[in-house]
Amino acid sequence: MTETAPGHSAMLSGREPVHTGIFSNDRGVPDPTFPLIDTPGVVGASPRRFVGTTLFDWMRSVNSSTRVLSVSRKDRGAILPVGRARADVYWFAGGHFTTSQYYATSLPEWVRNFDENLHGDALPRRWTLLLPDTAYAERDSMPWEHDGGDFIFPHAFPDDPAERLRKLEESPWMDSVTLAFALRGAQELALGSRGATDLLSVSLSTTDKVGHTYGPDSREMHDHLLRLDGWIGAFLDSLGRIVPRQRTLVVLTSDHGMTSFPEYTVTVRHQTAGRMSLAGRTQHAATDLGKRYGTTFDLSFDNGILTADVPSMRAHGVNVDSLTRVFVAAAKSLPGVAKVYTPSQLAAAPASDADASRWKRNLPPEIGWLIATVAKPNFVFSDKLTGEHGTMQPETVAIPIAFMGPGVHTGTYARVVRSVDIAPTLAVLLGVTPMEALDGKAIPEVFQGGVPNP
């Protein structure tokens, strides 16, 4: 599933979700047993479900003084790149940066100082175009954007500074603040300045937010990426004053892509597209199960897969096969579903079935599920007017991977590699050994060079 949690679990582990145990956002880091520090009312989080090790563990096994700082707007974006390590891991929640009690019982003074100095009056009052209007080829009048309202520049932000700060997560400036926090943390922890090789993981998630709100083809996305490019450049320049560039290795990638708004695809590209959902049917079935058995068995549909506590269903006498057949028929009736697998059908699918192979790489064996589907091109599982990802659409599967720094050969290549290849490639560059079998392979072009694309 092309969601944030599985994507982040693969980046620095070198392993697919079937082996990390993180196959969806819902089954990612939410954990009420580890509440957030100084952030009441927000669900706790931890890497409790994550299985195995990551690059940081491999680095620390070579040098116990190795440090890591992992930062994101999202809890899963900060937690999963470093696996189960108890370290400096922070994310933005409740209007400030914090962490959960899995990592600490109180926030360091530098985090508290950063939060105290983060004021809404320093944020802009509106989002205007960075460049002249003529620099943008995208139309600025797409009525499906922003849930059908406020879809034309400029976009006003609340006048009240405190309210602007609360709305920061919905603003492009969230990435700028995240990078500022990461830079401050790198300074405070003396990353790269103590004779050890350290790790800094920064997850910037405003691109995801803008994509959900305005779509990947929007003028808002274009403008956001222009701003993000400048912020990343300034961040790397500032980081270079802390740790020289010849001692800094940079990797840039993404957790997933995003499908165009179906409304955009139909209106602008004149192609078949649409939204579909099994959420209503799933909720109806869960309600019936609850009335009859006193439990819903955690029945849930998310981006093409229907999960449930199947062993408990069978123990209660639920006819799982019959229920599965009902949902197979319901899924096949949706106009945008291309394939439907049951567990037995997926297990029997040949290696030549690429869609089945992707699902097999996604589903940990302990996960109970009834059906797994494949969406047709340009269709998304959604009943809301938002941009979506999560399916196996080519534009959600395709991501960029870039390496820069010492030991990296210059070149641009179109050969397909995967996000699980990043960690083993870094292991080669850093001279560390993975602590378990990996699904990814080192990318030889990075450290050996090759014939780049013209």
Q: Which of 162-171, 175-184, 228-237, 428-437 has the lowest mean pLDDT?
A: 162-171
- Which residue in the block uniquely carries the two structure tokens 């620095």? 12
pLDDT digits (tens, 9 = 90+) for 8-37: 999 999 999 999 999 999 999 999 999 999
Among 364, 386, 408, the domain-final residue is: 386
Number of domains observed in the structure of the chain: 2
Q: What is the pLDDT of residue 430?
A: 95
Identify the sign of the CA torsion 339, 344, 347, 350.
Answer: negative
pLDDT digits (tens, 9 = 90+) for 268-304: 999 999 999 999 999 999 999 999 999 999 999 999 9
| Residue 268, domain member (yes or no) | no
Domain that holds residue 128: 4-256+399-448
| Residue 410, domain member (yes or no) | yes
| Residue 265, domain member (yes or no) | no
In 3D, which of 77, 313, 105, 103 has the Cα closest to residue 202?
77
- Gap between the Cα atoms of 223 and 121, Å rounded: 22
Q: Is residue 449's pLDDT more than 90?
A: no
DSSP 150-211: S-SSSEE--SSHHHHHHTGGGSTHHHHHHHHHHHHHHHHTTTT-SSS--EEEEE--HHHHHH
In 3D, which of 13, 52, 63 has the Cα closest to residue 432?
63
Query: 14 and 71: one domain?
Result: yes
Q: What is the pLDDT of residue 290?
A: 96
Helix axes 173-188 and 219-240, enclosed angle (nearest 10): 20
Q: What is the pLDDT of residue 454?
A: 58
Percent of the chain scored above 70 by pLDDT?
99
| Residue 23, domain member (yes or no) | yes
Query: 138 and 220: one domain?
Result: yes
Query: 212 and 286: one domain?
Result: no
Query: 212 and 89: one domain?
Result: yes
Among 348, 363, 386, the domain-final residue is: 386
Res. 55 pLDDT band, cuts 50 70 90: very high
- Gap between the Cα atoms of 38 and 388, Å rounded: 32
pLDDT digits (tens, 9 = 90+) for 107-129: 999 999 999 999 888 899 999 99
Q: Phi-psi bin for 267: left (phi > 0), alpha (psi -120 to 50), beta?
A: alpha
Q: What is the mean pLDDT of residues 131-135?
A: 96
Identify the sign of the CA torsion 344, 349, 351, 357.
Answer: negative
Token pair, residue 358, equals 């992707």
Furthest-apart CA atoms within the chain: distance in Å: 65
- Gap between the Cα atoms of 422 and 253, Å rounded: 9
Q: What is the mean pLDDT of residues 425-431?
A: 96
pTM (2 decimals)? 0.95
Q: Is residue 39's pLDDT more than 80?
A: yes
- Gap between the Cα atoms of 330 and 333, Å rounded: 5
- Gap between the Cα atoms of 329 and 289, Å rounded: 19
For residue 316, what is the domain's CATH number? 3.30.1360.150
Token pair, residue 63, equals 């040098």
Res. 325 pLDDT band, cuts 50 70 90: very high
Query: 97 and 242: one domain?
Result: yes
Token pair, residue 88, equals 């400096």
Query: 71 and 122: one domain?
Result: yes
For residue 189, what is the domain's CATH number? 3.40.720.10
Query: 380 and 404: one domain?
Result: no
Query: 217 and 290: one domain?
Result: no
Query: 310 and 174: one domain?
Result: no
Q: Is residue 412's pLDDT more than 70?
A: yes
| Those residues with Cβ within 8 angstroms of residue 413's Cβ, 6 or more apart along the chain or in another chain | 445, 450, 452, 453
Query: 221 and 308: one domain?
Result: no
Residue 81 contacts residue 203 (beta carbons within 8 Å): yes
Average pLDDT of the chain?
A: 95
| Those residues with Cβ within 8 angstroms of residue 267's Cβ, 6 or more apart along the chain or in another chain | none
Query: 89 and 21: one domain?
Result: yes
- Gap between the Cα atoms of 274 and 265, Å rounded: 9
Identify the sign of the CA torsion 141, 143, 146, 149.
Answer: positive
Query: 199 and 50: one domain?
Result: yes
Q: What is the mean pLDDT of residues 84-100?
A: 97
| Residue 394, domain member (yes or no) | no
Among 354, 386, 418, the domain-final residue is: 386
In 3D, which of 128, 120, 108 has the Cα closest to residue 159?
120
Q: What is the pLDDT of residue 450?
A: 73
